[in-house]
Amino acid sequence: MEFTRKNRQLLSRIATNDRHGENSPYFDGWKAYDSNPFHPIHNPDGVIQMGLAENPLCFDLIEKWIRENPDASICTAEGLDKFKDIAIYQDYHGLREFREAVAKFMGRVGGNRVTFDPNRIVMSGGATGANETAIFCLADPGDAFLVPSPYYAGFARDLRWRTGVEIVPVHCKSSNNFRITRAALEEAYEKAQRSNINIKGVIITNPSNPLGTVLDKETLRSLVSFVTDKKIHLVSDEIYAATVFSSPRFISVAEVMQDMDCNRDLIHIVYSLSKDMGFPGFRVGIVYSFNDDVTNCARKMSSFGLVSSQTQFLLASMLSDDEFVGNFLRESSKRLAKRHHVFTKGLEEVGISTIKSNAGLFFWMDMRPLLKEQTTKAETELWRVIINKVKLNVSPGSSFLCSEPGWFRVCFANMDDKTVEVALDRIREFVLQGKEENNHEADKSQARAQRWRKQNLRLSFSSSRLYDESLMSPHMISPHSPIPHSPLVRART
């Protein structure tokens, strides 16, 4: 005990504070999944993972390309002659072919309405690294960024942990479909000023995580003019840009800047291949800034998170194959659209509505009608029931800092079609059961509520492995990770 206490004093404040974010109840769902993962054959009663925004729907296309292009790998007979040069290449500018291919890809994803400059492409350790790097370049410890909520739970760590920067949420409401209004931005900004909080910028995610919606031109223009007026930065995380599967189309902030009077030095884009291509393991993050000083600084900082040259080489080849890229983007949209439709229609049939969305790997589900009361506490109770009784790991809106209780993010791309059916059946059953039971007397429902609560308690303490450090990292738990005791859930289309 004494040793531990002494031990903790030996570490930094950053090391001993909670800003890594992993103690959030958000991860209890993962823990529940990990200790009881669904498998169609081996564990059909297990928890289905719907909290992980992964995109494995088009791996067949990628695998085919890899088979047909052995020279894209430096380990094959065809590519071996490149091995040495690639293996020693550690220049933080990154392989020219890689930057060109990524710039071209980003352009295509934006509908070819913008040309991205390969010399502004800066690498980072995934979008995780890119967002952190942007903050390191733009803000000092104690400064703050405005972030429209609901927002990606990982921002708490990525924007704040090592940088010492704060997040000031700009709460968006369902009454106008969670749009980011100029008024809300102004209000949040003024309030921060009055509290002596130094706002250095705004971070948006477009398409939005967790909403799955795209920002329209008007909102984007409004954001650009807001930051120009206030002389603060705008970071646009466009990690889901190519997951748009129906109209309206994706509009990058880069496009909107083109015909606007604005200060280009304030605009920065974060990108990644983790969602659009489904390559989270390859750690390809990009910082793209219109500000030369930021580009130079971020490039120096990329030393702390360069993309493996082996991976740069592979992707340079893959992403410059125009035919492959075109086909991939089309197919990916199609498959995502289909998946999205199956789910949202299925939910509609039992009276569950979702925010109208056309992008992302998830949808934003409205469970407010099922709440006992419109409070976060009730949302959390409902969530525990969904995890422990319905056995679906979905993510509660509170973990995204949503100001309205009752919303849940549900990921739909990281499973196969059979599992989709099972998940839908479970939701249907749960909702219909709930409706039925509402018609019974109050004391019966009280008894049930007590049973549910007991069940929650039982499950919470049933497995000491829930808190075992040797489990997968909460953010990174993937049903596809090679842990021998976890049956894998393969997504096959």
- Residues annotated as catalytic are 152, 237, 239, 275
Site for other proteins in 108-137 (CB under 8 A): 125-126, 128-129, 132, 136-137
Using the rule CB under 8 A, give the single segment among 36-44, 88-96, 175-183, 447-455 that binds other proteins: 88-96
Q: Which is nearer to other proteins, 147 or 367 (CB)?
A: 147
Does 26 sit near other proteins (CB under 8 A)? no
Exposed / middle / buried, residue 271 (Cβ in 10 Å: 0-12, 13-18, 19+): buried
Question: What is the smallest separation between the CB atom of 474 and other proteins, expressed in angstroms?
Answer: 9
Burial label, 487 (beta-carbon count in 10 A; 0-12, 13-18, 19+): middle
Distances (CA, A) of 453 to 379, 441, 467: 14, 19, 21
Helix (H, G, I), strand (E, B) or coil at 250: coil
Rounded Cα gap, residues 14 and 8, in angstroms: 11
8 Å CB contact between 420 and 339: yes
Q: Residue 1 interacts with other proteins (CB under 8 A)?
A: no
Interacting span for other proteins (CB under 8 A) from 67-75, 215-223, 370-378, 391-399: 67-75
Please report whether residue 141 would count as binding other proteins according to CB under 8 A. Answer: yes
Segment contacting other proteins by CB under 8 A, of 40-48, 236-244, 275-283, 415-423: 275-283
Report in angstroms how near the CB of residue 341 gets to other proteins at its nearest.
24
Q: Among residues 157, 160, 391, 409, which is the contact residue for other proteins, using CB under 8 A?
A: 157
For other proteins, the binding residues in 279-318 under the rule CB under 8 A are 279-283, 293-294, 297, 300-301, 303-311, 314
Please identify which residue in 77, 112, 175, 196 interacts with other proteins, judged by CB under 8 A. Answer: 77
Nearest to 211 by CA among 413, 402, 473: 402
Contact region for other proteins (CB under 8 A) — 176-184, 363-371, 379-387, 467-475? Answer: 467-475
Q: Closer to other proteins by CB, 84 or 440: give it.
A: 84
Number of residues that bind other proteins (CB under 8 A): 89
Closest CA to 108 of 237, 5, 226, 244: 244
Dihedrals φ, ψ of 220, to 5°? -65, -45
Whole-number Å distance between alpha carbons of 238 and 250: 10
CA distances 146 to 134, 170, 181, 288, 405, Å, are 14, 6, 13, 20, 21
Specify the residue, 172 or 269, whose C-beta has the smaller distance to other proteins. Answer: 269
Does position 233 interact with other proteins (CB under 8 A)? The reply is yes
11 forms part of the interface with other proteins (CB under 8 A)? yes
Stretch that binds other proteins, among 78-86, 107-115, 380-388, 437-445 (CB under 8 A): 78-86
Distance between CA 467 and CA 28 in Å, rounded?
Answer: 10
Decide: is 51 part of the binding site for other proteins (CB under 8 A): no
Which residue do the tokens 């990606």 mark?
152
Contact 268, 303 (CB under 8 A): no
Q: Which lies closer to other proteins via its Cβ, residue 167 or residue 350?
A: 167
Closest approach, Cβ 184 to other proteins, in A, equals 22
Contact status: 452 vs other proteins (CB under 8 A): no
* Interface of this chain with other proteins, residues 160 to 219, rule: CB under 8 A: 161-162
Judged by CB under 8 A, which of 203, 220, 232, 239 binds other proteins?
232
Token digits for 115?
Answer: 């040309």
Question: Per residue in 182-206, is it b (16+ CB within 10 Å) or e — as a string?
Answer: eebbeebbeebeeeeeebbbbbbbb
